[in-house]
Amino acid sequence: MVDRIPIFCTAEIPEEILSSFIACTEDAISENHWPESKPVDYVVFMTTLDPGTRVADNAFAPMGAFASPFLGWTLEQLRDWFRVHCDPKSGDYSRYTFIVLDDQSVKDETCLLVDHHDSTVISSLRADFYAPLPEALGIEYRGAWMEEGILGSFMRSGIVMTKENMKLAMNGGLYIERGEVKLDQAWKDFRNW
């Protein structure tokens, strides 16, 4: 099992939104060809402040609602708690990344992918529910900073990272429509933003 990406809920998240997040995570796992895997292998919802009981195999769809102890917390507060209570050397947690479901998640099924490589800097970008897991794992395995490459372009532009936007960005704006290669001019130079 890989180190799991913690998920913090800083707002009341309805059961159907939690289930949608898990379903999108399952799709990301399947489409990235990670055989024999399920969400619990990659993500863990942080459901308690008690360090002794916070790790649970709790990422299954449909997932029941729970009372998050992190309601109203800022990214800085989450990072500080994470650094004190989530030892990456244990093999249970990621070293640099976590995901946040917040008020905006309830409105549009997006979340924040957060990178905290540096103790003084927190980088984050808004993503749909599909996109953050593969990118978080990429940050973890490469040890790269979120500001680098395509993720940095999404951060600087303020554009929501979606599965479709990621494909356009990675392909320099090229896409196929009815068997013909087309170019989306808006995405042509996205890597340089």
- At 71-111, the pLDDT tens digits run 999 999 999 998 888 766 666 788 888 999 999 999 999 99
Q: What is the pLDDT of residues 18-65, one digit of tens each?
A: 989 988 988 888 887 666 677 677 788 888 887 656 544 555 545 677
**Predicted local confidence at residue 1, as pLDDT:** 47
Domains of the chain: 5-159 (3.40.50), 162-193 (no CATH)
Which residues, at least 6 apart from 45, have a Cβ–Cβ distance to it below 8 Å? 7, 9, 18, 58, 59, 63, 66
pLDDT tens for residues 108-142? Answer: 999 999 998 767 778 899 999 988 888 888 787 77
Report the predicted TM-score, pTM, of the whole model to 2 decimal places: 0.86
Instruction: Tell which residue, 146, 140, 5, 158, has the closest CA to residue 82.
Output: 5
